[in-house]
Amino acid sequence: MATNITFHPGAVSTEERAELLGQKGATIWLTGLSASGKSTIATALEQHLLHLKLHAFRLDGDNVRFGLNKDLGFSPKDREENIRRIGEVSLLFSQSSTLTVTAFISPYKSDRDLARALHAAASPPTPFIEVFVDAPLSVVESRDPKGLYKKARAGEIKEFTGISSPYEEPDAPEIVIKTDELSVEGAVEKIFGYLVEKGLVTI
């Protein structure tokens, strides 16, 4: 733990930055089982926002594990550290006036709450929108786009969320998307509608 460190503020406040760039930042935090549709929806949402000339950036589970978090595995402790770092990185992106879309299973409520608390404690507080990408285990298991459920059932993957590791559903997410009922386009529309309604994007 570093001790002799001092925070160096910028010359442009977060509010002035938003004013100058004509855009506010926010973190749109997708959580849900593997194959629930987080990456699919995050990718479509990012594309939708960029086509409207809004700065958007996606932080996706596996991608981040190739680089920033390549030292981490899937034990409870490593999952916690994975999400802690993503919470910090998404806050930095959002403070830069970017609409930041994260796509991580983030199975533990306490870790998501920590990310939310980080955003709330920032100055000024940064919007944190928790999106529960919800689909029954039977549905995600039948999709199994990466063949991971098959491997987990065969015991080839330990600590697999939903099979041998818990997924704690959000109690009060800002948005719920049931991907066995709503299309990808419908999901993007729902999230985008929320951003407009809350004044986070102006069109």
Ligand X SMILES: Nc1ncnc2c1ncn2[C@@H]1O[C@H](COP(=O)(O)OP(=O)(O)OP(=O)(O)O)[C@@H](O)[C@H]1O
Burial of 194 (0-12, 13-18, 19+ CB in 10 A): middle
Q: Which of 106, 164, 165, 183 is catalytic?
A: 106
Report d(CA 44, CA 36) in Å as an integer.
Answer: 14
Tokens 């973190």 locate to: 27
- 40 sits near ligand X (criterion: CB under 6 A): yes
Q: What is the edge-to-edge ordering of all strands in the sheet holding 99-103? A: 56-60, 99-103, 26-31, 128-134, 175-178
Contact range with ligand X by CB under 6 A, out of 16-24, 46-54, 151-159, 176-184? 176-184
Q: Which stretch binds ligand X (CB under 6 A): 87-95, 116-124, 164-172, 177-185?
A: 177-185
Is 90 one of the annotated active-site residues of the chain? no
Using the minimum distance from each CB to ligand X, give the nearer residue, 56 or 103.
103
- Total residues at the site for Mg ion (CB under 5 A)? 2
Site for Mg ion contains 36 (CB under 5 A): no
Residues 46, 28: contact at Cβ < 8 Å?
Answer: no
**Rule CB under 6 A: is residue 175 a binding residue for ligand X?**
no
Selected from 39, 90, 102, 106, the binder of Mg ion by CB under 5 A is 39
Query: Distances in Å between the alpha carbon of 180 and those of 79, 114, 183, 202?
Result: 27, 29, 8, 30
Element at 110 (helix H, strand E)? helix 109-121
32 binds ligand X (CB under 6 A): yes
Handedness of CA 170, 175, 178, 184 (dihedral sign): negative
**What is the contact mask toward ligand X in residues 98 to 117, using x (rule: CB under 6 A)?**
-----x-x------------
Q: At what angle do helices 109-121 and 76-95 cross, to 10 degrees?
A: 30
Q: Which does 64 bind (CB under 5 to 8 A by kind): ligand X, Mg ion, none?
A: none
What 3-state class would DSSP assign to 191? helix
Name the one range near ligand X by CB under 6 A: 16-24, 89-97, 141-149, 168-176. 141-149
Residues at the contact surface with Mg ion, assessed by CB under 5 A: 38-39
| Residues binding ligand X (CB under 6 A) | 32, 34-41, 61, 103, 105, 143, 145-146, 179, 182-184, 187
List residues with catalytic annotation.
106
